Amino acid sequence: MPRAPALLWLLLPGLAALEPISVGIAIGAASALTGYLSYPSFYCSYVECCPGDGHRLNATALRAQLDARLFGQHLAKEVVLKAVAGFSRNSSPKKPLALSLHGWGGTGKNLLSQIIAEHLHPAGLRSKFVHLFLATLHFPHQHQVKLYQEQLQKWIQGNVSACPHSVFIFDEMDKLHPGLIDAIKPFLDYYEQVNGVSYRKAIFIFLSNAGANLINKVALDFWRNGKQREEIQLKDLEPVLSLGVFNNKNSGLWHSSLIDRNLIDYFVPFLPLEHKHVKMCIRAEMLSRGHAVNENVVEVVIDEMTFFPKEEKIYSDKGCKTVQAKLNFHWDTVMGDTKAEG
């Protein structure tokens, strides 16, 4: 429990000059104040605290956020919601939760990991209990893989020791040097403790573009066969996805013991986005800037986007990744034209 013993020391110099009764009153007041400040709910309203074991994720609020901010990803939303909510409800998990998110850029992998972080720790990615690793930034050099492995182990051990409910997000897994991620294998396994630390309540999230072509092919096959994308189920993608990533030298999980030992709980596919989904992204971005939705702007921005396959042009090849930049470019022009017409 947090304490504030420094308050007593601040009062001690003045206590010597007081009468015995006054000293007793002063010590009692200081003790009461110290106890009040050390009360968890008060202390944690000013300083970020690690959630206690009794804390539970608000699954209803998480679902509402996913529905409002993540578009075209029925599979990812359903799988992640059930996985994270179920893990949060389990007071005694046998291992940490490990999710591997796969799909093209701009389909929502980063957004989903951000939403999860926000619902586990209110400060989200700014929380001292949420840790984001970028392959090209934190692990750039092939010849230093062993050093990175040692540093990664120490970093994870130290942070889980400080907060068992820590969240670790590894982005750009497809750019990670093969073998590096195997350093965390002991932390994801079914051990009660590793060097005196339990990792069972931590969450590990891996983000990768690897396997995107496999996902896109399945989505396109469904479309060509006249099926709705919402008919795609996890069983249609997860087996081929885990095998494809395991055998892909550019996946960061190439021949990884994390896959070989079945330590990744879910391989979560992110489907390519259609025109309607990109339009949803454009509208959501407008609203996030405090503007009303302007359909003229939506049409101008969507016309700037490119789609594949070459003949059908169904899916955005960049997802929603360039929406912000294109909205910045066209906003003043289109809004100016709209005002002139009015």
For residue 54, what pLDDT band results from cuts at 50, 70 and 90?
confident
Ligand-binding annotation for 103, yes or no, is: yes
d(Cα 124, Cα 130) in Å, to the nearest integer? 7
* Angstrom distance (rounded) from CA 93 to CA 90: 6
Q: Is the dihedral of CA 14, 16, 21, 27 positive or negative?
A: positive
| Cα–Cα distance, 333 to 297 (Å, whole number) | 9
Residue 298 CA to residue 5 CA, distance in Å, equals 58
184-209 pLDDT, tens digit per residue, is 999 999 999 999 999 999 999 999 99
What average pLDDT does range 246-271 have in this prediction? 86
The Cα–Cα gap between 219 and 231 comes to 10
Q: How far is CA 10 from CA 4, 18, 34, 39, 195, in A?
A: 11, 15, 12, 20, 39
Global pTM reads 0.85
Is 109 annotated as ligand-binding? yes
Determine whether the annotation assigns residue 86 to a binding site: no
- Gap between the Cα atoms of 316 and 330, Å rounded: 19
Residue spans per domain, the chain:
6-43, 59-269, 275-341
Dihedral Cα 281, 84, 136, 189, nearest 10 deg: -160
| Percentage above 70 pLDDT, the chain | 85
Minimal CA–CA distance to 81: which of 100, 61, 96, 95? Answer: 61
- The answer to whether 78 and 233 have CB atoms below 8 angstroms apart is no
| Residue-by-residue DSSP string for 38-72 | HSHHHHTTTS--PPPTT----HHHHHHHHHHH--S
pLDDT at 56: 87
Q: Tell me what the pLDDT averaged over the chain comes to.
A: 87
Architecture of domain 59-269: 3-Layer(aba) Sandwich (3.40)
The pLDDT tens digits for 139-153 are 999 999 999 999 999
* pLDDT one-digit tens code per residue, 72-101: 999 999 999 999 999 999 999 999 999 999
The answer to whether the annotation marks 105 as part of a ligand binding site is yes
pLDDT tens for 320-334 read 999 999 998 887 765
Stretch 120-131: mean pLDDT: 96
Confirm or deny that 104 is annotated as ligand binding: yes
Rg (the chain; Cα; Å): 25
